[in-house]
Structure formats: structure tokens, C-alpha cells
Structure 1
């Protein structure tokens, strides 16, 4: 890995963004879409004529193009939830998040590819940094579209690692807010204990703007945390060597400006299993209609999830939920000593091939704990491809976490622009 240079810290710089993107900005996005979308395949529904004639409202996101993950309902585009069961389905109303973004002036550029019901069966999307690699799942289309500059913001969701992992693989910023922060009205769920709507953007300023619209709270200036816990997690050995080096380099960069110290969370090791058990049990209920009426159209991955959930007893499910609540209390005590945690976002660079979307191992625990998480780009792996870092805050401290993230972003190397769009 090359020697890294940190950026100069600008602690007084406001991160409240001026997201001004006039028709010229939309025209540029349309130009990029026309040039690279046939290779990347980020969209599953797109209407150039509608977008070109759309007059955005004035607001914080006026003229900013948004890619809407295809588990989110839209009246102007079909919503298929990544499943052939819903081919051609056209909802009568937009999801709340879409309405809020358009009220703030955003432009719905189209529906972005998702894995089937936001689980593991991949869609058609390719990673803009390497077309032979996965963009991650399940927010694959939104992540790829943001990374390639086809949209300024991407709506995403996370039930395990569906936002954090593609943000890491595609080299962009991602915010999974505290559980329950954004409305899920009009968003297809998978496991109600964990389903969380989030956003993807090129940088923290974009996350701040979207969070201000969807969550209501606005972050202010970048803030240097007093104490960072570097949590390699109990699954550190399941990560690649270049991920280890990237995280250690990031810790060194941040540690040049504040205290960064190792934090072991060995007492949380059962969190991964608890997450899997609860998610599979709840998925059986959420997908009951699809399974009862269209099992022949479900993928082997979804069928395996349902079989796994069917084998979980109600008593085991309740016991897992009780233990999860206990771990949430324990992690709140950790944040009495640390402002923010630094942790891996994914095992390494995006894996080769399009048949799998990567391992969610490094986000299951945090999703179980319902913590807000920001994924930041800038670090790279052995092949020069993005490796994200993950910053975590105490629950319901999302604005403060964004301020810490803006500070960290100012120290990390700049994000990579995919070569496929370098000329745009």
C-alpha cells in the first residue's frame, strides 16, 4: 500500500452544504448516465424525458439527483423489490422519504437496483471501479450510481450490512442512522427489528443535507472527538490483510490529531448470531404472502432464509431479543468513555465476480445494537480499490456523529473517482 498523506484539518469549516445543482447539474448526470449506465447497470427504471422536464422546488436539495432503491415505493416508476413477483407493479403513492426529498427540491432520477427483497440474490449492477467486481448488496444500484456521479444522493437501507458494505466497496460515504430515525412508510421490510433507511453520497456534506431532510436534525461544524475507540471487532481475523492495514493507517491519521486507543468488545461476540436468528425469524413473517403464493419465484437464498427462520422457536426468538436489549445497554456504557468508535466496514476490497455481494460480518453487530454509522472512503487495498472505514456513535447522536465524521473526512485521503467516469 502506498504511503498516505493526510489532508489539512479545517475545524471551523461548516458542513451544512450548499447542494446547489441547477439544470446544468442534472444535464451532467444525464450525460454520465448515457455514457456509463449500459456498463454499470445501476438503474432498473429510468425515464430521461421525465427527468429532463422536471422543475425542482427550491430547497436544501434543489436540483440534486437522487437514486431510489427499488424496495422504496414510487408512483412515477415501477417498484419490484428486486423480485419477479412484482414485475410491473406501480404503487399509487411515493414512500414518505421520496416525498420529503422532492419537497426539499431533489429530483428522482429513477429506481436503482437492489438484491431480491434486500437480501442476498445479486442484481445486474457492477462496481464502477472494476466492472468485474460486485458493488455490494443490497443497496448496490444506489451505491454504484453515486460513485459514478450518475446521482448526487442514493436512498439505501440496511438490515444487516446493506448500506455500509456497498459504500465501502464503491468508495463513497454512507449514513445508516440510528434505528427508527427515518420513516419506513412505503419501504419494503425484511426484519422489523433492524430495517433502517439510510443515504449514500460522495461526501459527508451530502449525508448532512439528506439527514436534515429525512431526520430533521442538522449537523454544524466538524468536531474533533476527544477519544476514539479503535474496535477491530471479534471478527478481525475474517478480514483481509489489506483491510487490516487500511484501518490501521486510518487510525494513525486520526490519532495524529486526537486520542485513539484499542477497544476490545469480546463480550459482544454473540451479537452476530443473535442478529442472524432474529432476522431469519422475522423474515418468515414479513415474506409470508410471497412464500405462500409465489414460492416458485423466490430465489434459493430467500428460501434458505425462510427455512432457517422457520426452525427458530418463539421462545428462542424472545430470548434473543432480550439478550439484544442487554447488549444495547452495555454498548451505551462504552460510549460513556468514547465519543466515537472506529471499526472495519467490510472484509476488504469488493470481491471479484457478480454472483455474491460480499460478507456482512462487520456490520451485523452494529445493526443489532441499532447504532448510527457513517462509512467514509479514502483508504485503498492491494489492488488500489476502495476500502471504507466505519465510524459509530451512541444511539440517537446522529448529528454529533456526522460532525465527527466531517472532521475525520478532512484527515483521510480524498475518495477515488472511478476511471470509467474520469472524463466527465
Structure 2
């Protein structure tokens, strides 16, 4: 969320940034006008309170001088002020809410090196901080070649047997799946492999957060109020709780309303959780198979760091997610999202897109975003710089998939499929599969 003081001081920079974001019509003048009304009410309230205090003293002086007429006149003025002040305070609260609601609906400002564009067609391939297309191609696993026409994941023999969409539809409706047998075990193996990698090699702390959260947590990471229709809610007491759309929500909120010591940073968390999304607005997209589900598992990465280190942490997190695909031997590319395709809370986002031979295309398997202090302001998450006697500063937050387990399952099935309907097991997963080297087939 933006600081209105920064907008007042930098109206042209704010307008230029918002002109690059998709479907954003708000301008600095709109927000400053609300803030002017708020400030005018505050001035009027302060004047009324000061005058009330001054008149109260004058009443005492008039009574001491036995000037009852003057005292009564002054008391009438005080009574009028006392009647106005609660009304003025209510007006102030209403305008403050109006300003906060307006600021809450504004997306983050893109970093200067984010490409300008309207949609995913304007995203730009990224080859690493010092990389080229040639070096990236050498470093990344190659595309597999097939002596037969590769199938989509749900058409492969072992998946046809153990990936049951009809049974899930009986239980829950469309966009759910029941995984059975070897496919269920393979998905479990993928999640465990990712967690072990990120905790033992990448320094993330494994946590098991709640999957039901309050509105405040969703507001802190930017899902509310703008994306309420994408969430699943359940009544709870006098209010409600929401099923998490990603473990980013609870893990980032670990530092909500906190002041950390700089020495504690960076904080790095990872979790394997189910995620729940209503997929509002996605009717007719990816209706076959597991690509777009209401419920799916994901290994999430979250970092909390200082402003000076957030860009480096972004590159580090990207490398952690890439390692998953390297170890599994899955071909992929990295895309820098343009201003029109970037998420609400991000300042910059890299998408990892894995190659799916059954679809003959790349599909997103991870998004890695740096959010600056955008979420921290919403959560009031700060840190105190070491060795300095200055006010606490807002932390910077980052999040990324490390990776989406269901989509990784799809990628393994399609990239390691065999003509007889079996699927080879990547070497990195074999210890998690009891030593199995393949599943399915005759």
C-alpha cells in the first residue's frame, strides 16, 4: 500500500507508475483531494478542541468574577462545540476509511527495469543477471525427444488409471481430482523432495501454517479487498475465515505488527500446503486435466529482508526455484513479467515456465516476486536498523513457488512418459518412491 505523503510529494512519479499498470484509472489528484478533505476536517477539529479548552478556562474566570451572564454565554458556546466534536470525529473516521480503501485498491509500482506491456505477449525472456540465451540454453535441461506423439498428462496410461476426475466431480464438482495409487505417491514424493531441497540446501525454515486465516491476514498480503471473489470463505463465530489461496498469506503475516531487529533478517520460510482458489473469471480455460484446479498443493517460499537486500534476495529465490526443475531434469524458461501481466502486490516478477510436450508449449510452474514494502505497510511489519537511533523502517517481502506440486506432477508425467503408458521416475525422486524407476505400463 502506498503512503499518501509520498504521493503528495511525488504526484508525477505516481501517475507515471500507475499509467503502466493494467486497468488502473486512479490518479494522484483523486487521492490528494480525499486527503485534503481529511486534513481540513482535522484542522477544524483541532481548532474546535482548542477553542473548547480556552472557553472552559474563561468560564472559570467569569464565575470567579461572578459574571454569570458571561459564564452562561461561554457555556453555550462550549456546549455547541461539544456537540460538533463527535460529529467531526465521525467525519474524520469516514474520510480516513475512504482514503484507506482507495489506497488499498491500488497495485504496487513496478521497478524501473520491468518491461512495459499489456499482457503475457509482452513478457520478456530472462537469462539470468549476467546471462545470455546461449548460456541459459546450456545450463538448463534440454527438451526431451520422443519416437511417438507425446500425450497430455491425463491421457497417459498410468494417469488414466490413477487420476480420477469423475469421482472427484461426484464429491465436489468440477475442477477437483482424486489421485490414487502410484500417481498419489508420485505427487507426495514431489512435495517431500522440494521441502527437503529448500530446507537442507537453501536455508528455508519449514513451517506448517494454518490453512484458514482471518481477513486481516488476507488484507496484509493484498488478496483483500480487491480479490475477494477468488477466495473460499467459511463462517466462524461472528465473522468468517478464508481458505488460503497460497501459503504466502500466513507465512508473510508471521511478521505482522512486529518490529524486528536487523540482525534477525533475512527470515526465510517454506511450507507445503493445500491451496484453494475459486478461479473466478477463468470459465472455459484449461477445463481438462489438472492444470487449473480449485484445490492443489504447492511448496511456497517467503523471505523477509531489508530494502538493501531485497533485489539480491529476489535473484536468490529464483535460483532456489530453478534448482527444483534442474534436479528433476525438466526443461524450462524464465520470463520477466511486463507491467500489464504482473500481480497486484509485486514490483517485479519472474515466471518459471516448464515445457509440456503433450501440449507442445510452456506453462507457468512458479512465480517469484519481490514486493518491496507494499505488503509491509499493510501489515505494519518493520525492523530496527542495527547501530542506529532512528525510527524503524518497513521490511521488504518476497514470495515464490518452489514449486506448484500439481503442475510439477504434470510436467514429470509428460516429460518422462513412455510409449507403453508408463512413466520413468526422475533420479532425484527415486529415493522418495521406494527405489522405483518407473510406474505404470504392463
- Identify whether the pair has TM-score above 0.5, normalized to the shorter chain: no
Higher share in helix: 2
TM-score band by shorter chain is under 0.3
**Higher RCO, 1 vs 2 (CA within 8 Å, ≥6 residues apart):** 1
**TM-score, normalised via structure 2 length:** 0.24
Structure having the higher strand fraction is: 2
What TM-score do the two structures reach when normalised by structure 1? 0.25
